């Protein structure tokens, strides 16, 4: 098994290569904009760093979202292009699930709540147990003082990701609300770990029809302005 994984869910991008026994190489690019040409170069470099050629790949994996509209489009387009060129299958992984996997080995008997900033007081989020299983499915949430009240009543919850700062301003005083002191971002490293399991179960998506998981309908700035004046 040889899988290259791509994550462009938010600012920057990351690429990782996984084999039968785990991760072989990875690259992270922390810039505001990551073009598809730069991403393709990172993919090639990561595969070569692992000691292989692109033709050796068994599958391509990508973070399907939620996340940045532009970032997801770049990542998915690049992944689909690789699949077409190499005639390889595509694996799509939930961004929040992969974020949660970064902390699930550390926080036992806690719930995990990754958050991606969706502007204003809204976040893309989900809740997972310490086995990285969904407790609450992926959704867009407008945060307020009552957010997650039912779960917080009985469980300690670790909030993290670039949207968690909004949550901290509202829930920071709750005894069961824990906020990660380390910045946790989406990563191709954990996309690849989940992709390895998906590959073993033959969980592939249809390359021609697959689209990013935007969670909300995309509306361009021009269309937003038009609606204001309509």
- The pLDDT tens digits of the residues spanning 2-55 come to 999 999 998 889 999 999 999 999 998 877 655 666 899 999 999 999 999 999
The Cα 181–Cα 88 span in angstroms is 39
The Cα 98–Cα 132 span in angstroms is 9
Burial class for 53, CB neighbours closer than 10 Å (0-12, 13-18, 19+): exposed
Hey, how many other C-beta atoms are within 10 angstroms of the C-beta on 28? 15
Token pair of 31 as six digits: 């810039």
Confidence tier at 119 by pLDDT (50, 70, 90): confident
Classified by CATH at the fold level, domain 3-95+185-229 comes out as: Nucleotidyltransferase; domain 5 (3.30.420)
pLDDT the model gives residue 182: 87
Q: At what angle do helices 69-86 and 36-49 cross, to 10 degrees?
A: 50
Q: How long a stretch of residues is the chain?
A: 230
Nearest Cα neighbor of 18 from 204, 188, 150 is 188
The residues spanned by each domain of the chain are 3-95+185-229, 103-179
pLDDT the model gives residue 227: 38
Nearest Cα neighbor of 115 from 42, 169, 193 is 169
Instruction: Let me know if the fold of 3-95+185-229 is the same as that of 103-179.
Output: yes
Q: What does the DSSP assignment read for 111-125?
A: EEEEEEE-STTEEEE
Token pair of 174 as six digits: 């709750």
The dihedral sign for the CA sequence 125, 129, 133, 134:
negative
24 sits in which H/E element: strand 22-29
To the nearest whole percent, how much of the chain has pLDDT over 70?
Answer: 91
Nearest Cα neighbor of 187 from 33, 3, 4, 5 is 5
SS3 95: helix
Q: What does the DSSP assignment read for 137-165?
A: EEEEEE--TTTTHHHHTTS-EEEESTTHH
In CATH, what number does 103-179 get?
3.30.420
Q: What are phi and psi of 16, to 5 degrees?
A: -145, 150
- The pLDDT tens digits of the residues spanning 94-113 come to 999 999 999 999 999 999 99
């Amino acid at each position: 098994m040889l899988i290259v994984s791509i994550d462009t869910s938010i600012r920057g991008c990351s690429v990782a290569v996984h084999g039968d026994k785990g991760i072989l190489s990875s690259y992270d690019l922390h810039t505001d904009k990551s073009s598809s040409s730069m991403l393709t170069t990172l993919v090639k470099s990561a595969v070569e760093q692992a000691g292989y050629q692109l033709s050796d790949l068994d599958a391509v994996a990508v973070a399907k979202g939620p996340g940045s509209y532009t970032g997801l489009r770049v990542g998915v387009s690049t992944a689909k292009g690789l699949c077409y060129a190499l005639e390889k299958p595509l694996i799509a992984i939930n961004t929040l699930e992969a974020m949660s996997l970064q902390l699930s080995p550390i926080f036992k008997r806690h719930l995990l709540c990754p958050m991606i900033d969706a502007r204003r007081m809204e976040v893309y989020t989900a809740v997972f147990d310490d086995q990285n299983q969904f407790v609450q499915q992926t959704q867009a949430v407008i945060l307020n003082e009552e957010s997650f009240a039912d779960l917080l009543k009985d469980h300690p919850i670790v909030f993290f990701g670039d949207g968690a700062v909004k949550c901290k301003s509202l829930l920071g005083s709750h005894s069961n609300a824990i906020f990660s002191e380390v910045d946790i971002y989406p990563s191709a490293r954990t996309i690849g770990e989940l992709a390895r399991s998906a590959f073993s179960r033959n969980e592939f998506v249809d390359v021609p029809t697959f689209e990013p998981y935007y969670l909300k309908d995309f509306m361009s700035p021009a269309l937003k302005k038009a609606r204001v004046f309509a």
